[in-house]
């Protein structure tokens, strides 16, 4: 059995991220990363000297995108689901990035553990979007855990960010526009000041379905509302900016 066979299970695939040769292990027929992760990695402002942590990391897509785009000093991935964290850890080995990306299979509500791993310059998170209205979701359903607030709430995420960020550290989140008021109220509750907001629309005719938001720990009150991003143009083709973000040229 080759080293590759040991790293990749029968129901998994290796996906080329088309970024510095990086590859990601994912399930063939289960939760896979989407446009949200790609948009968040582009929206985040990361420098090579930064120490970064990604919460609700799943199979580790955002840490790998951040590493490929910005080459920060270190990226820590935090994921509560065992199989997701295991896939992320094997992707780290697949890319020989053990010295740059660290995966923790831990609960972000464990504040003592969060304090034990130190502070970070940047925190990213693509959290579960849907409020868990008691009883509608099976806690053993891995897809539901990724999409619904089963294992953690929005407040849990922002409370964790307060603990993990350095003074003036930056938090970057991708979420749904209908939760924007909740996000801002909770960020201020934990003294993370909203600094930038960007709405993402499917096209110029439709309402936004994604929001990107940046907050600063103990930052001053000044909010910049950025120009909207449109995934498709009026011709039904990917917009120039989406092509830029994905690193592809228009055909």
CATH number at residue 73: 3.40.50.150
Distance of CA 110 to the CA centre of its chain: 19
Kindly tell me the burial class for residue 153, based on how many C-beta atoms sit within 10 Å of its own C-beta (0-12, 13-18, 19 or more): middle
The total of structural domains in the chain comes to: 1
- Do the domain assignments include residue 17? no
Q: Which helix (H) or strand (E) holds 155?
A: helix 154-164
- Do the domain assignments include residue 180? yes
Q: What is the pLDDT of residues 110-158, one digit of tens each?
A: 999 999 999 999 999 999 877 755 544 555 555 554 554 457 899 999 9
CA–CA gap between residue 30 and residue 223 (Å, rounded):
38
- Do the domain assignments include residue 2? no
- Do the domain assignments include residue 158? yes
Q: What is the pLDDT of residues 193-215, one digit of tens each?
A: 999 999 999 999 999 999 999 99
Q: Is there a contact between 217 and 167 (Cβ–Cβ < 8 Å)? A: yes
Q: Is there a contact between 33 and 27 (Cβ–Cβ < 8 Å)? A: no
Q: Is there a contact between 132 and 150 (Cβ–Cβ < 8 Å)? A: yes
pLDDT tier for residue 34 given thresholds of 50, 70 and 90: confident
Per the structure, the complete domain to which residue 70 belongs is given by: 33-246
């Amino acid at each position: 059995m080759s080293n590759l066979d040991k790293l990749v299970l029968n129901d998994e695939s290796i996906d080329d991220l088309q970024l510095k040769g990086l590859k990601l292990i994912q399930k063939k027929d289960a939760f896979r990363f989407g446009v949200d992760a790609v948009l968040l990695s582009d929206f985040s402002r990361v420098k090579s000297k930064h120490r970064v942590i990604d919460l609700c990391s799943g199979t580790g897509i955002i840490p790998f995108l951040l590493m490929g785009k910005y080459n920060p000093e270190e990226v820590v991935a935090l994921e509560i689901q065992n199989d997701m964290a295991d896939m992320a850890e094997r992707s780290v080995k697949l890319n020989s990035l053990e010295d740059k990306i660290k995966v923790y299979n831990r609960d972000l509500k464990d504040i003592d553990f969060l304090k034990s791993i130190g502070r970070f310059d940047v925190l990213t998170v693509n959290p579960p979007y849907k409020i868990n209205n008691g009883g509608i979701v099976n806690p053993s359903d891995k897809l539901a855990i990724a999409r619904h607030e089963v294992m953690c709430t929005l407040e849990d995420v922002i409370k964790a960010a307060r603990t993990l960020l350095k003074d003036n550290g930056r938090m970057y989140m991708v979420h749904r526009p209908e939760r924007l008021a909740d996000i801002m109220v909770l960020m201020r509750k934990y003294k993370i000041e909203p600094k930038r907001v960007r709405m993402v629309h499917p096209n110029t005719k439709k309402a936004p379905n994604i929001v990107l938001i940046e907050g600063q720990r103990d930052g001053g009150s000044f909010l910049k509302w950025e120009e909207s991003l449109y995934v498709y143009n009026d011709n039904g083709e990917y917009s120039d900016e989406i092509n830029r973000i994905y690193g592809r040229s228009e055909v």
